[in-house]
Amino acid sequence: MNVQEDNGTLPADFQGEAFFRILVEKSRDMVCLHDIEGRYLYANPRCKELTGYEPRELLNRDPYDFIHAEDRRRIRLESHDLAKAGTNPHSIDYRFLKKEGTYVWLQTHTQPIPDVSGKIKYLHTTTREISDQIELLDKLKLSERLSGLMSELAHVGGWESDFLTGTIHWTEEVYSIFERNPSSGLNKEIIYGYCHPEDLVIVMHHNRRLGETGESYSFEHRIVTQSGRVKWLRSQGKANYSDGKIVGIYGAIQDITLSKIVEEEIRISEKKFSLAFHNSGIGIFLLDKEGRFIEVNQSFSDLVGYPAEELWSKKLNDIAFSEDTALVEEMFGRIFSGEKESGQLIKRYLHKKGFLIWTLITAVAVRKDSGELMFVVVQVQDISRRRTLENILREKNSRLKSVSKTLQERISQLEEFNQIVSHNIRSPIGNISTLIKFLEEAETEEEKKEFVEYLKETADQLLCTLNELVEVIKIRQNANVSSEQIYFEEVFERVKGMFLGQIMEVGAIINTDFKDAPGVVYPKIYLESILLNLFSNALKYRSPKRKLCINVRTYWQNSALMIEVQDNGLGLDLNKYGNQIFRLHKTFHRDTEGKGLGLFMTKNQVESLGGEIRVESEPDVGTKFIVQLNKGYEFAI
């Protein structure tokens, strides 16, 4: 080959074989010569950089020893066999195992070299590294896959119109949105044909303005798909420029039908909620997680007397009754923290004008899917009237129970009274009848005189009994005896004066405390009698083992005025005598004189005015009588 004649003049240093050796050995590609089976016969120095092997290490080696197993068959069919047959195959990409043990991506072009007879004798290969290109290509393919997947998930299709070539490209998702077979193709007229008749003008206007002026657009419109379905699309378009001129336009369409349906459902739901919220006859408000009002309806505003704009600056407890704040904080704290989703509570609100309102509140938390609290919906029902009626009902029930108890006591007392009358009168009358019979049969004046004396004694006893019973009846019939303002200090001093001699005789210690309840409106004669009987009882049943101490005090308890008379006397076994203490003619200490009338009279006097008396006692410790004076005057019978 005459290089100088065919390719120009070469410097003297580049004549002959030296010239070609320089070209091969200085090449940026790996240049190799192979026998017909592919074994290396020559490799230029570039192979060291690409594969890590020195050229001599490759000589007589089979390239397939280094090629990745997944690539060998493809290389043989698409390159090696074609070259052996005398055909110039296209370049082929494959993975080659480097000396360090890792694979590198290479691209090789193989060229057959025939001998003078035309028979293929050698194979010439030129190889370069394409790892960066392969990595870039993989990323591009991944990006395309992800982009396609995202377009499918987001229902987004793209298009591009090239003004220079007059072509329009549509992505597959565009066909899917229009429910059209991709093999049928698309053009501008077909697209316009899918537009909803009411939206066609605006679609054409935006596309015309985009092509003429480059004015970008983004708007929503409807289409009618191939199957006749109406869909909502969001369309966007922009212009392509070259040297300041519009050379094309491109854009995207997104199927937003589902979001439109959801938006409409949300709008209807919000409208329903708004109508129910603002027109409800029950108070409703919304609270944020700090307990602040964020929305209130008119019914709640009217209930508490605050305009809505005033409530927005307040927290729930700002208008709650102070005694209810702990209950409110406990229930709403558990709702705010997520411990519970709802709660119900009866609480009081403080009206702006200062009066209390009883309400039943029901609270329900509204949360995001993540569980984060958005707000709490609270319904408030005014139960002030119901609460008042409940209180009245409870009071009536209490009164009825008290009346029932009083009636039972009266019945029991009447039965006891009947027994007393039957026993205490029958015996003297029977005795008188017998004495009269004896008197009639008496033979001497002396006998007659004796029986007359017996008759007088029996008559006196009967008269005494009758007088006692009359006193009890008077008390029962005198429930409406006039009351007056009296002071305990004055009444007790008068009572104490009646026993001054006995007090001095036994050296009794008397303590009084009337400061908590110094006076009362009550029948004076009854109060004196009550104190007299209780004081007399303490003196009469004193203990010989210790100096007598009597403590008298008055105080208020649950709106009732109480009198306590306590001593350190003999005391009683209440387990044994507790149900007999206030009965007529019952005495419990044989060594002490008593008729058993005082406590019976006291009980009747107290109860005739709706009061109550009870006793606490312990043998050899003492006794305490507790009198409740003003319990239910209206129940006196």
CATH number of 17-130: 3.30.450.20
Q: Which CATH architecture has domain 480-629?
A: 2-Layer Sandwich (3.30)
CA distance 513 to 511: 7
Residues 346 and 359: beta-carbon distance below 8 Å: yes
Confirm or reject CATH 3.30.450.20 for domain 155-261, answering yes or no: yes
> One-letter amino acid identity for 46?
R
In the chain, ranges of CATH 3.30.450.20 domains:
17-130, 155-261, 293-479
Please choose, from the candidates 353, 366, 386, the residue with its C-alpha nearest in 3D space to the C-alpha of residue 284: 366
Q: What is the pLDDT of residue 529?
A: 81
Going by C-alpha positions, the residue among 135, 314, 165 that lies closest to residue 240 is 165
Does the pTM of the predicted model rise above 0.95? no
Domain at 293-479: CATH code = 3.30.450.20
Residue 285 confidence (pLDDT): 92
Lowest mean pLDDT among 341-345, 371-375, 524-528: 524-528
Closest by Cα among 349, 287, 353, 351 to 320: 349
**Are 266 and 246 contacting, i.e. CB atoms less than 8 angstroms apart?**
no
pLDDT band at residue 211 using 50, 70 and 90 as cut-offs: very high
Q: Which of 515 and 10 is assigned the larger pLDDT?
A: 515
Q: Which residue has the higher pLDDT, 577 or 23?
A: 23
Could you tell me the two tokens for 269? 């739901």
How much of the chain exceeds pLDDT 90, in percent? 39
Q: What is the C-alpha to C-alpha distance for residues 95 and 81, in angstroms, rounded to an integer?
A: 19
Sign of torsion over alpha carbons 142, 148, 151, 156: positive
pLDDT-derived band at 601 (thresholds 50, 70, 90) equals confident
| CATH 3.30.565.10 domain range(s) in the chain | 480-629
